[in-house]
Structure 1
């Protein structure tokens, strides 16, 4: 098995996790999205996590999470 195949599999698996997490937040949690993925890459930055997770969300729902307007409760 090639290293690139393994990395692609990891990206797909963990990308699915991020998509699930953002979708869950969208449905159940008031306020802005939280990108708490430090456990996945301890040296990653909040901005890197956001870009990575937003890409999967945008591909799935054809809308960027930054386009949502927060409503007051």
Structure 2
């Protein structure tokens, strides 16, 4: 299971579950929101462009779809 604002991910399999703690820099969406806020406050471009963010989102959504459907999902060019 995964909580986007959390600090860990729980992996489940048919035989066991495993908890993985995320490093502070990788914890949820909070660092992304802080970077976005800072870019606005400092009148600069964010570290990740909108185009690159859309590509990353497409990958994440494909991963969710793959997990839901239990198979391979092909990505379309963004």
Note whether the superposition's TM-score is higher than 0.5.
Answer: no
Structure 1 or 2, whichever has the larger Rg, is 2
Q: Which has the higher strand share?
A: 2
TM-score relative to the length of structure 2: 0.33
Tell me which of the two structures has the higher relative contact order, counting C-alpha pairs closer than 8 angstroms and 6 or more residues apart. Answer: 1
